[in-house]
Amino acid sequence: MKLYLTGDPCTQERHCYYVEGNNVSFIVDCGFQRRYPGDEVPHLTDSQIRSASYLFLSHSHENQSGALPYLYANGFTGRVVLTTETARQMSFPMDDPLILEALNVPYEPFFLPGGLEVIWGRSGHCSGSVWLRFEEKGHSIFFSGDFYRSARVHACDPIVGQTADLAVLDCDYGLEAGNSRDDQVASLTSVVSDALSDGRPILLPVPKFGRGIGILTYLCESFPHTDIFADTHFITELGHLDASAFWVRLDFQDTLDAVYVRSIPEDFIALGIYFLSDPQVDSPSSLQLAQRIMACGGRVIFTGTVEPNSRASLMLHSGQAELIRYSVHCTQADMLKIAAQNRFRKIIAYNSDYAPELPFYEF
């Protein structure tokens, strides 16, 4: 088998991997990076796109799935393989996808035509996110996806006892020393507490799926008498967790039931914490909300990656906002813990000492 790194390669900006097997070839993720005009899509060849029997999506975030229309437009005729939740979250149609939960449960192998064995598990990154292991004719490869074992809300199936000739592991935070989750939450709640005490509202731009729900639970615990506001999408997704309990940790289902979130008022800004489902503040309405909150002396806090050339980046570097990390990815130290609990002959871990040195690997 051969692995071709056709994303950036192997960075959080644009994930995409082409695996060439003896009988079957497939793609894992197909990220899109809107911040790089003219270079938004993976560097797959036309032959690779047309020859792929399957496209496996680890989750729905744009840097994993956003180039799917490009693949269809350039000859992809294979089957998309993904979870029910990832399929629901996708913003464009798919041709007859295969649903992982219908094929087997976590940790149990199943076979696809062409002799490809697949094992999957929940990765904890967001509802529907998974890690994947593939084997064909005795050769195996493992993809962690955006794995995070310390997820606050989303269920995670530990990566333990897996074997593979080659493993592509999440290491988006790379060589950052990284604070513990307790330290991160303490930093965030301290800033929020100071702002609220001064009568300043807080705006938290978060991804449409994933990180925001975990932050919400911590802030509800720390500030039980503070009003929480959110946009329509955030409130809808919060309510949907009841219908997708498989993706929620059992010990947090009751906690989420007790959370109350108000719609963002259109004509005034009240003191409270505001969640916005637009992590880079892309849309005009998001910018308008940010400006309304800042006009009231409010603070804007980013908790994840701020993309280059984005409005979020401009706000951060102009001093209008600040970054307080809330982890949903691995550092190199986290990645090495995963490596120690499994048997991987070779590891590729982007943004780390184990970053890829070649455009493709044979195993």
Q: How far apart are CA 185 and CA 139, in angstroms?
A: 42
Residues 96 and 135 in one domain: yes
As for how many domains the chain has, the answer is 2
* CATH number of the domain enclosing 141: 3.60.15.10
Output the pTM of the full model: 0.94
Range of the domain at 81: 2-175+329-362
pLDDT bucket at 11, cuts 50 / 70 / 90: low
Whether residue 320 has pLDDT greater than 90: yes
Residues 195 and 121 in one domain: no
Nearest CA to 7 out of 33, 46, 25 is that of 33
Residues 276 and 213 in one domain: yes
Across the beta sheet with 360-362, the strand order is 98-99, 79-82, 54-56, 25-30, 16-20, 2-5, 360-362
Tokens of 243: 């219908």
Residues 132 and 52 in one domain: yes
Lowest mean pLDDT among 16-30, 105-119, 177-191, 214-228: 177-191
Residues 157 and 235 in one domain: no
Lowest mean pLDDT among 109-113, 121-125, 251-255, 277-281: 251-255
Residues 38 and 118 in one domain: yes
pLDDT value at residue 33: 87
Nearest CA to 30 out of 15, 46, 49 is that of 15
Residues 110 and 91 in one domain: yes
Residues 169 and 193 in one domain: no
* CATH number of the domain enclosing 195: 3.40.50.10890
Residues 93 and 117 in one domain: yes
Residues 213 and 352 in one domain: no
Tokens of 271: 């003191």
Residues 269 and 343 in one domain: no
Whether residue 10 has pLDDT greater than 70: no
Whether residue 39 has pLDDT greater than 80: yes
The pLDDT tens digits of the residues spanning 220-238 come to 999 999 999 999 999 999 9
The pLDDT tens digits of the residues spanning 134-174 come to 999 999 999 999 999 989 999 999 999 999 999 999 998 98
Please report, rounded to a whole number, the percentage of residues in the chain having pLDDT higher than 90: 86
Residues 275 and 227 in one domain: yes
